[in-house]
Amino acid sequence: MIADISGNLKRILHLKGVSQTDLSNKTELPTSTISDYVNGKTLIPPGNLQKIADSLNVLKSDINSSFKKTQSYKSIPLIDRICAGEGLLAEQNVEGYIHYPFQDSRQPDYALRVKYDSMIGAGIESGDIVFMRYAQWADYNGQIVAALINNDTEGTLKRIKWSEGSPLIKLLSGNSKHKVIEVLPNQVRVFGVYMGHFRPENHQENT
């Protein structure tokens, strides 16, 4: 979905002869934010999408087809942590709900607020909201997952990898400051796979 949105935005900018700098000036959004949207690094929040659509004199659905009138909004629970011993969507873990018109086939099961800088290499910063599909293992080698490792009390986002002939699972951060974690399969629990993320308009980094 992000690739489609990015492609639509690039096409409209090209057709209208508008540069990223021009768009930044028109919308009063930072050039780095516009670049992330154009290059498909983050989803465009509805508020910013409206600003961009208005400045380009197009409909929101021209950029993100999920905003067609026939598409209904669904509530996606936003959780602030993944903890051992609690249901993933236990009431005490849900801090609110996000309403975003995903296509039914791409509907996330939950959203997670990122607290740390472990995945900045993947363009995911502290304070970002990531959309997750519930799964108990990765769909492919190298996928980003939400996982609980060993006896940790709180889950984290990691890129999960394995190698033929090795019994160990590698969990990698997108930040060179964090070391690679190697565990046996029974020492890691996966709670979901990454589907995409966005940066809230009132984004503030958590420390």
Residue 154 DSSP symbol: B
DSSP secondary structure, 33-84, as one string: HHHHHHTTSSBPPHHHHHHHHHHHT--HHHH-GGGSTTPPPEEEEEES--BT
Residue 158 annotated among the catalytic residues of the structure: yes
Residue 163 annotated among the catalytic residues of the structure: no
Q: Compute how many other C-beta atoms are within 10 angstroms of the C-beta atom of residue 125.
A: 17
The angle formed by the CA atoms of residues 8, 10 and 12, to the nearest 5 degrees, is 70
Q: Of 55, 66, 118, 173, which residue is the catalytic one?
A: 118
Strand partners, 74: 100
Strand order in the sheet with 74-79: 94-100, 74-79, 110-113, 129-133, 188-198, 144-149, 156-162, 169-172, 181-183
Q: Of 41, 51, 60, 158, which residue is the catalytic one?
A: 158
Residues classed as catalytic: 118, 158
